[in-house]
Amino acid sequence: MIAPIVTVLGAGAMGSALATPLRDAGWEVRLWGTWLDDHLVAACRDGQPHPRTGVPLAAGTELFTAIELPSALDGAELVVLAVASAGAEEVTWRAARHLGTARAVLLTTKGLAPDTEGRVRLLPEAVADAAGERGITLPPVVAVGGPCKANEVAARRPTASVFAAPDAELAAELAKSVATEHYRAEALADRDGVEVCAPMKNVYAIALGIADGLGERGGHPWHDLKAAVFAQAVKELVLLCRSVGGDQATAYGLAGAGDLEVTGLSGRNKIYGARIGRGQSAVAALDAMRVAEQTVEGVPAARLATHLVDQRAPDTWPALPLLRAVTGILDGEADPVTRLTNAVLPST
């Protein structure tokens, strides 16, 4: 029996990590690196652990460089888009003409995207528009979310993800097709809810990181503040889900509270927030992250989220004090402690 082909677009941490459950589930996996991934592909070809996860690439995974995109997609039944949000539309535009055999696109990218008129879109709409520019209609786009740390997925540690599509039966079928003993997915119909939770948990993880940084600076934990931040973040995820027509249950589940929990424990957005909590300015902390080649996707997401609320649900602003606090801190407001405290603790 010939194994079905899945092409993963993006050889970064998550793209490479997903090769593990996909190979374990019986797929022929092709991992394609963008024009920014040459050093990652080279390391894997040399048999080194992946530079971003520290875990060797799953045995049998085929590697492709940026110029080999048509070959990487030839005959693929499933395509996984696993690039950073800033590159999602460009990669889709380049790949669109080679997706003729694909049944679906799994979207692991997390972000929001403005169109040419400034209207903020969720990523499934944005990548569909990018393909449309070439006269191509994308296969169904399935949002992949939930608390999935790339190094844990690659190392076969138990992971619960979410596959969401308007066609819930398709989401369930695809979730089953990639499931292994260690990697499993819940199927949902609420793609928009999953898609808004995905970038927003990065925004709120910055605030969770600030609480951690305060503890590191003073030598004493700020767990009470962090817990209050977490609770307020979940409340706001509920409102944001509603603002895009999603289900509030999504915010309470794996895609919302679950992903927020793991992102607030580790990851680039949390680390960025911790730098601010330790006393760095938002600008200096971001510059340090860039020098370390660490993208902090919560920063652009926070600014785009404010436009999303203005455009779709401006009446919810009084119930979104934490989003306002984070954007204020990113804009350089002094005293982030007071800003967070006033946002998440009951008023006196």
HEC profile of the chain = CCCCEEEEECCCHHHHHHHHHHHHCCCEEEEECCCCCHHHHHHHHCCCCCCCCCCCCCCCCEEECHHHHHHHHCCCCEEEECCCHHHHHHHHHHHHHHCCCCCEEEECCCCEEECCCCCEEEHHHHHHHHHHCCCCCCCCEEEEECCCCHHHHHCCCCEEEEEECCCHHHHHHHHHHHCCCCEEEEEECCHHHHHHHHHHHHHHHHHHHHHHHHHHHHCCCCHHHHHHHHHHHHHHHHHHHHHCCCCHHHHHCHHHHHHHHHHHHCCHHHHHHHHHHCCCCHHHHHHHHHHCCCCCCHHHHHHHHHHHHHHHCHHHHHHCHHHHHHHHHHCCCCCHHHHHHHHHCCCC
Q: Find out whether 219 and 244 touch, Cβ atoms under 8 Å.
A: no
Gap between the Cα atoms of 185 and 108, Å rounded: 13
Q: Is 176 a catalytic residue?
A: no
Residue 179 has which token pair?
């499931």
Residue 291 has which token pair?
């020098």
Q: How far is CA 18 from the centre of its chain?
A: 14
Gap between the Cα atoms of 162 and 269, Å rounded: 21
- Choice among 110, 201, 226, 270 that is catalytic: 201
Listed residue (64, 59, 51) closest to 95, CA to CA: 64
Q: Which residues does the annotation mark as catalytic? A: 201
